[in-house]
Structures are given as C-alpha cells and as structure tokens.
C-alpha cells in the first residue's frame, strides 16, 4: 500500500504575526480550496518544538466546500498561539523562558507541552502534509 499524503503549499507565514505572509499570498491563493469537501473536520498534529505533541480538530467554514488555504493557516496560527499560552500558564518555573546559555534560543519549558528551543515568533509555517485517508495533517515549520 502506497502513501496517500498530499503536500500543500502554505506560503511563508510567521505564526506570531501572520498578516504579512497572508497578504503576500493574495486573496486568490488564500481562497483556494486545498482540502475539498464534504468535510466535517481534519486532525492537525502540532509537533514542532513540543516535547509533548498534541492534535487539534480543524473544521471548515463550509462543510460542503472543504478547507481553504487561509482557513488552514489561520487554524494553525490559532492552535500554536493557544499551545504557547497554555505552556506559559502551566509552567511551574518562569525562568525556563530565559536563554539556556547553549544557544540563542530559549531552553526547554516544563509546562503541559514542554516547548523547547523556540519562541512563537521564531516559527514560520510553509507546508502541510495531508493524508485524505486518515484525514490527518502534519506541518512543515521552519525557525
């Protein structure tokens, strides 16, 4: 059995401030349906820089049309923003946010998701990998 994964181009979008990347993509590309409907939801794996990865459901605005490029990007931005907020709220030690001294990035945190080496502003979303059989998505993120 072969792989059924599809690679989706999401431009080059900062997870901390996505508006510039969204503007660069333009209205036409943002409205492209990347995952056609009918579709109730997909599962997006949030893994990059997390010691405890998680999954989130993403639902399209239109069940019958499917998910647009913009819906996917904004969904991922929302999810990562939420993860970083929860991490900060669940860390017993705030000092983990400071530089570890080993690199220009921060050390690992001790909250729910155990974020390591990056701040939200470091993360750039560029690609998604979608499997229509499992309806699951993984992400291509650079820092």
Q: How far apart are CA 6 and CA 35, in angstroms?
A: 10
Instruction: Calculate what percentage of the chain has a pLDDT beyond 90.
Output: 77
State pLDDT tens for residues 6-64.
Answer: 999 999 999 999 999 999 999 999 999 999 999 999 999 999 999 999 999 999 999 99
Number of other CB atoms surrounding residue 65 within 10 Å: 15
pLDDT given for residue 105 in this prediction: 58
**What pLDDT sits at residue 2?**
56
pTM of the predicted model as reported, rounded to 2 decimal places: 0.89
Give mean pLDDT, residues 113-133: 93
Query: Which residue matches tokens 């690992």?
Result: 108
* Alpha-carbon distances, residue 94 vs 19, 67, 90, 129 (angstroms): 29, 37, 10, 34
Q: Which residues does residue 50 pair with via DSSP β-bridges, in sequence order?
A: 115
- The answer to whether 133 touches 29, Cβ cutoff 8 Å, is no
pLDDT(93) > 80: no
pLDDT at 111 over 50: yes
Q: Given a cut of 50, is residue 100 above it in pLDDT?
A: no
Q: Which residues, at least 6 apart from 101, have a Cβ–Cβ distance to it below 8 Å? A: 107
What are the respective helix, strand and coil percentages of the chain, to the nearest 5? 30, 30, 40
Residues 6+ apart with CB under 8 A from 67: 33, 34, 35, 39, 42, 58, 60
The average confidence (pLDDT) of the chain is 90
Report the side by side order of strands in the sheet with 54-58: 6-14, 124-131, 136-142, 42-46, 54-58
* pLDDT tier at 104, thresholds 50, 70, 90: low
Q: Locate 26 and state its tokens.
A: 């333009």
pLDDT at 102 over 50: no
């Amino acid at each position: 059995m072969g792989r059924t994964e599809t690679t989706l181009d999401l431009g080059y979008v900062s997870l901390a401030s996505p508006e510039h990347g969204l503007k660069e993509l333009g209205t036409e590309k943002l409205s492209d349906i990347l995952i056609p409907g009918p579709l109730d939801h997909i599962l997006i794996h949030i893994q990059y820089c997390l010691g405890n990865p998680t999954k989130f459901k993403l639902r399209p605005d239109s069940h019958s049309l499917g998910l647009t490029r913009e819906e996917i990007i904004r969904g991922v931005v929302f999810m990562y923003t939420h993860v970083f907020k929860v991490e900060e709220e669940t860390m017993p030690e705030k000092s983990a946010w400071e530089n570890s001294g080993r690199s220009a990035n921060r050390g690992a945190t001790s909250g729910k998701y155990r974020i390591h080496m990056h701040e939200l502003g470091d993360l750039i979303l560029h690609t998604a990998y979608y499997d229509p059989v499992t309806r699951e998505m993984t992400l291509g993120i650079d820092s």
